[in-house]
Structure 1
Amino acid sequence: MSQAGLPRSVRIGYGSGSVATGAFGTVPGLMLLPYLTDALGIAALAAGLIVLLPKAWDVVLNPIAGRISDRTTDPRGPRRPYLLRAGIPLAVAFALIFAAPSMGSKVLESLWVLVFFLAAASAYAFFQVPYVAMPAEITASYDERTRLMTWRVAILAFTIMLAGATAPVIRDAVGGRNGYRVMGVVMALIIVVGAVAAYAGTRRAPVGEVQPGPGTLRDQLRIVAGARDFRLLLTTFVVQALATGCMLAGVDYLAEDVLGRKGATTILFVCFVGPALLLTPAWARIGERVGKKQAYVASSLVLATGALLAATAQVAPSGLVFAAVALVGVGYAGCQVFPLAMLPDAAAVDARRTGSNRAGVYTGVWTAAETLGLALGPGLFALVLAMGGYESSTSNDVQQSDTTLAAITYGFSVLPALLVVVSLWWLRRYTLDAQEVAR
């Protein structure tokens, strides 16, 4: 395992994997619920369940994927082969999610989406878990992991902007269900680019020796669950993923129904991701100066403040709403950099204490919980829509009630802000710092 600084080519190569994770993490969260309710005419609660179930399956599958990668023997390393083995199937399944043919039955069309979303989620587990496990083995440096995550989050932010801004543009330019089909193919190609670039870019990365601990997967999970700092960090991150999932699911509804501005979805995404692209390196420097935990708290509070300001969307000028979302983006950058840089610290401390490398199990649990949080977010937002009386329809002429517009606004703003603030209750008890990690 490398103690020295990594070459920039390795940092960029590793970070390029976020092109795949960013596209898959962003587009379904943004487009799948509107696709189900407005293109296929499926009721909001049923649509929320379709979005949730494949992600819930990942909660079971991700730790298994981590255990398998821990035990993989390959000259290229235990993790790197999965970037291609899972990345390519992920892209194919993703394109098929939005390619449902007209079957004359909402049930059959719903099943089509569910089956291929489940296939994509399964492939994603075997891509994402090994990918997230790699930093714990690439470098043993506390600060180098932050720099590695800085590249990853910067590329992630760019991908979110690219995918999140262009997906609705492609859909609207083509129109109707064909618009979703074309969008799905384009995003699938982006996923392929990310998977191949990460595989090629990490070919010179150091690979630490993997010695998976003895016992069954259940034994390993029990040990990981007993790691106090990991558990606290994970809980914080998952609650924030739930908040992010709510906001992501609400973007299209806020743009179309509340703001009523053509192209507002794309503008909101640019406002969200643009600041993150610019300020991710600044957050990294702040983290090196004050510590990852303190910087994580600060970025969380910035995100929550921006979300609360977005609650004025029904009465404030659009410019103020866009500015509020930009503030959310500033905080979101830090809320990605720091937990992802703290995760390999927790795994490395465990490996040092026990003599067994459980990075795959750690990241399997992490990505399972993150996936569940991001899936519950759209599900929670769908519940808010249903409570607000949202009318699902394939027609563009439906006018939503004032109660529905309020539900969309507060589901996008106040609810996520509260979730982020509540998440800090767990973070305040996290204790790992540079001295502890370096021992």
Structure 2
Amino acid sequence: MLEKRLLIKVVKPAGCYRVYRDMNLNEHHKTSVADRIPMGQKVAYGLGGIVPIALANIVYMLMGIIGNISLGLSALVLGLVMAVPRLWDAFTDPMMGYISDNTRSSAGRRRPYVLWGGIAVCIAFVLLWWIPKGEGASAWVQFGYILLLLIMFYTAVTVFEIPHGALGMEMTADYHERTRLFAAKSFIGNMGAMATPWLYGLAQLDLFKGAGGNASDGMRYVSLIVAIIVLPCIIICYKVCREGKLEQVKEQERVPFRENIGVTFRNKTFLLLVAIIFMVIMGFNFVGNFANYITIFYLYGGDQVSAAKLMGVTGTVWAVTSLVAIPPMNWISARVGKTLTMLVSISLMAGGQLTKIWCYNPEHPYLILIPTAMLSAGMVMYFTLASAMVADVCDEDELHTGNRNEGAYYSIFWWFMKLGMAFAGIVAGALLLVSDFDDKQSSMVDAVSGPVRELKAGFEKDAEMPSAADVTEKISISIKQNQALADHFRAMQEKVPSDAEHYAELLEGVERIDAGLQSIYTGAEEFTKVCDSVLSKALEVSRQSVRTVNHLRIFEIGIPILLSVMSFIAMRLYPLSEKRVYEIKAELDRRKETASND
């Protein structure tokens, strides 16, 4: 069905034909009733978006911070460990796409995997955070545990998400309705992602971590709450969603794995789309967690508790903006097409990055909410449209091959993205190394302050002075850990001569902590005051060097801008305009009508 509209005439400079192609259409299509998806199914499908958007984001964002800052694990080795499961995905994603495309069951070829894959995701997510701690758990034991559970988690995500993504591609054949469906996925998925930064704050609460613990302890229990919330969403998605084209694929012959996957690598339109999206994903994943490092160590000088509050607010603003941006995205895309809407989204992301030059301000830390909103709006538009555009490519593929291969295309699309993420994780660790980020510092400071926090919490709870034996035991641990911290700072002073002055200041802070620990045996009236003084001094030695933080800021701002500009330029070459997609749809409908008459 066509809807006639009067469009503003656009003057096209030479060489800009492809950018403005969709804008010059004098015919825009209105979705027919037959192609519309019931609202209940849109909501149910969107609930499934919580797994790839929220849960996977939680793991990606928090594992690096907790492993590096709370457990003191090497950023470079942790980056390598987190890259391995993405390389594993390079095998499992195409295989899952092939399995799903060739499944023939009474429940369909997508839905069974949505159910069982989703259950496995919830189980693996909880187990992931129970990282061994204590004297018997060396760093290599912790790395091994994280690696094993990450492989389990991401394999489960693959079993769920590849069929779930393919399911969305075949629920409607309409250009605009696909955008609306994947917009529902983004909308609800980002509602779940709204909680991600607050989880770090929750994990810092004594209720979850205990008085002497840290975020790694708290996440063990926070993850249980998350899984309990997510599981019903997965079941609803399985129960309510209905697969499209079931009758068509019953007659479709099963094809060998190599042929099923090979068709995607021969599709030039698909490869161009992959390149466009790949550049932006790489740009932001190279520096994925750096914004959190900058918040903790630049805006708040190493104060993780205060930083966690801003991170929570930032995450909420991100999620709310994502929700608010989806209706305008649908409106813009329906009027100017996906191509120009993609260019708008890239511009928003690049502009948001530029504003960070001024908005990373320790005196006014909440200025960071400005680029947060711009980036959120740009990204939700960008990645929602990307999934809908892969579905358009599947129609073009059917025109040439006669087969529906949504599983293959969706899996290979994410195969490229996950390979990029794996490489980006390694690069991010290398960039932290180049910046001389001290990955042992925060966990060692926690080891000093932890026993003091326990004594203070016990005093406030019982309203009486801890026993002399308890005070002696815990303060002895803190003194020992403080000496280890001093040795570490001296070693770093020699290792990084350019930061020698910084570490000299930290060593003076260590001496003040030692003096405070020695005076902890004062009377009950001064006990809380002395403990607060020691904890305050411990916070002062949590600072990273100015040079390190400045390097992080340069990397975090500059790299995404560069690759976003490259993606913008490549987007001009994309050939599937709204007009072309509807021409393909009309030809496919004509073929089906002819086949049914025969």
- When normalised by structure 1's length, the TM-score is 0.94
> Identity of aligned pairs, percent?
23
Matches within 5 A, 1:122-201: 122-162=155-195, 164-173=196-205, 174-175=208-209, 176=214, 177-201=216-240
CA distance in 2, matches of 1:362, 1:431: 18
Using the TM superposition, name which of 367-376 and 21-30 deviates more.
367-376
Give the 3 Å change call, closer, same or farther, for CA 230–316 of structure 1 in structure 2: farther
Shift in Å, 1:63 = 0.7
User: Are the counterparts in 1 of residues 171 and 243 from structure 2 also a CA contact under 8 Å?
Assistant: no
User: Are the counterparts in 1 of residues 361 and 367 from structure 2 also a CA contact under 8 Å?
Assistant: no
Give the 3 Å change call, closer, same or farther, for CA 170–193 of structure 1 in structure 2: farther
Question: Which residue matches 2:312?
Answer: 266
CA distance in 1, matches of 2:247, 2:180: 18
Equivalent residue of 1:372, what SS? helix
CA distance in 2, matches of 1:341, 1:403: 43
CA distance in 2, matches of 1:224, 1:265: 39
Question: Which residue matches 1:341?
Answer: 388
Shift in Å, 1:255 = 1.8
Given candidates 13, 38, 42, the residue that maps to 2:44 is: 13
Equivalent residue of 1:348, what SS? helix
Equivalent residue of 2:555, what SS? helix
Question: Which residue matches 2:110?
Answer: 79
Using the TM superposition, name which of 425-434 and 44-53 deviates more.
425-434
Given candidates 245, 259, 263, the residue that maps to 1:223 is: 263
- Are 2:286 and 1:237 equivalent residues in the alignment? no
**What is the one-letter code of the residue matched to 1:219?**
E
- When normalised by structure 2's length, the TM-score is 0.70
Using the TM superposition, name which of 205-214 and 310-319 deviates more.
205-214
Using the TM superposition, name which of 293-302 and 212-221 deviates more.
212-221
Give the 3 Å change call, closer, same or farther, for CA 278–247 of structure 1 in structure 2: farther
User: Are the counterparts in 2 of residues 245 and 378 from structure 1 also a CA contact under 8 Å?
Assistant: yes
CA distance in 2, matches of 1:117, 1:363: 22
Matches within 5 A, 1:236-315: 236-246=276-286, 248-260=288-300, 261-262=306-307, 263-312=309-358, 313=360
Equivalent residue of 1:291, what SS? helix
User: Are the counterparts in 2 of residues 29 and 378 from structure 1 also a CA contact under 8 Å?
Assistant: no
Matches within 5 A, 1:12-51: 12-51=43-82
Give the 3 Å change call, closer, same or farther, for CA 204–71 of structure 1 in structure 2: closer
Larger relative CO (CA 8 A, sep 6+): 1 or 2? Answer: 1
Q: CA-to-partner distance for each residue in 1:301-351, whole Å, 9 max, x for gaps?
A: 111110121133156732322211111112112112211111101012211
Structure with the greater alpha carbon radius of gyration? 2
**What is the one-letter code of the residue matched to 2:578?**
A
Q: Which runs of 5+ in 2 are unaligned?
A: 1-32, 301-305, 446-540, 584-598
CA distance in 2, matches of 1:374, 1:289: 33
Equivalent residue of 1:413, what SS? helix
Question: Which residue matches 1:113?
Answer: 146
Give the 3 Å change call, closer, same or farther, for CA 97–390 of structure 1 in structure 2: same
Given candidates 582, 585, 590, the residue that maps to 1:438 is: 582
Q: Which runs of 5+ in 1 are unaligned?
A: none
User: Are the counterparts in 2 of residues 170 and 182 from structure 1 also a CA contact under 8 Å?
Assistant: no
**What is the one-letter code of the residue matched to 1:230?**
F
Give the 3 Å change call, closer, same or farther, for CA 357–27 of structure 1 in structure 2: same
- Are 2:424 and 1:391 equivalent residues in the alignment? no
Using the TM superposition, name which of 246-255 and 201-210 deviates more.
201-210
**What is the one-letter code of the residue matched to 1:232?**
L
Q: CA-to-partner distance for each residue in 1:55-94, whole Å, 9 max, x for gaps?
A: 1110221011000001111112100111111111111111
Equivalent residue of 1:430, what SS? coil
Shift in Å, 1:204 = 7.7
**What is the one-letter code of the residue matched to 1:249?**
N
Given candidates 87, 96, 104, the residue that maps to 1:65 is: 96
